[in-house]
Amino acid sequence: MSDGGNTHIWDDDYFLWLHDQGVSSEAIMQFWDEVWNFHQTPFGKYRRNSHYRSLVPEDQVMTGWIKCESRKFIEESVASDEPFCLFASHHAPQNHDYLPEPYYSMYDPEEVAPPVNGTLTPELARIIASYAGKVSMLDKHVGDLVETLREQGLLENTIIVLTA
């Protein structure tokens, strides 16, 4: 992850990593074409909210991968005995990220409270339930990183900033 002053990773790194995990390029591209759900408007293309079940396990979705790369960076930084700063930018929950189990089924769309205007279509209920699942998944992965800091003896000397 660290290459002198070049310590960032890109979305492309995730897709290359997925390929290394045995997920075929064709499967990746087909799935992203479906998930991104591009729609043409007079102002260009946009992505609709998506609410898809993941084709890969939790540790292979982007949120899990970011956690693993962040954990690796923390452990490498501790081993180098140098001060470090980690900026982990998660796409979840307001993204096109797809949900693995148990998060996809964690919240029942039938039990979602209707919005203030009272209109709750089945699609909107699924989106709201999926969003809640994304929040739960992100919460778990951030908690795992906090635990990594604790295990490395860094938690008491670390500032954690969460932004949205």
Residue among 77, 81, 60 at smallest CA distance from 7: 77
List per-residue pLDDT tens for the chain, 164 residues long. 445 555 666 667 887 888 888 887 777 777 666 655 555 555 555 555 556 777 778 888 888 888 999 999 999 999 998 888 998 888 777 765 578 899 999 999 999 998 888 889 888 898 889 889 999 999 999 999 999 999 999 999 999 998 87
Q: What's the Cα-to-Cα distance from 17 to each of 102, 126, 160, rounded to whole Å?
A: 23, 30, 27
pLDDT of the residue at 117: 84
**Which residues sit opposite 45 in a β-bridge?**
40
Cα 36 versus chain centre, distance: 15
The domain segmentation of the chain, as residue ranges, is 49-157
pTM to 2 decimal places: 0.78
Residue with tokens 């005995």: 81
Whole-number pLDDT of residue 107: 96
Q: What pLDDT does 143 receive? A: 96
